[in-house]
Amino acid sequence: MNPPLKMRNIGPKSAAWLRQVGLHTEADLVAAGAVEAFMRVRRAGFKPSLNMLYALEGALRDCHWQEVPEARRAELVAAVEAATAELPPPRGRPAAAPVTTTHHQDEGAMPAPDLFDEPSRDD
């Protein structure tokens, strides 16, 4: 059995996301590659940032994610954009209903004054 995923740049949150998409070990991540691993996380409904993509590549290169060359970063982003274009469109979920606020009053409480009404004058 391979040891659990513990690689450079892979923090607890990223490791948890990777485990949830079936990438449990360093060998799993090597086999998938940075782009496929990133896309699995995205397809699972998580919202990984591009920093995670660079971190995955850095883990595979055994370097800090900020040391991934700009040219390689551009290749990774292009690969993710191409893979994203191949994803099916989001399901036709209706937009969420408008949020409404309900105000509750205590039974014995005085109603709050309406700030837009003129104050009453007793003659």
Domains of the chain, CATH where assigned = 12-85 (1.10.150.20)
Higher pLDDT, 37 or 1: 37
Which pLDDT belongs to residue 66? 95
Name 66's Cβ contacts closer than 8 Å, sequence gap at least 6: 54, 58
Q: Cα-atom radius of gyration of the chain, to the nearest Å?
A: 26
DSSP state of 107: T
Taking residues 59-81, report their average pLDDT.
96
Average pLDDT over every residue of 66-90? 90
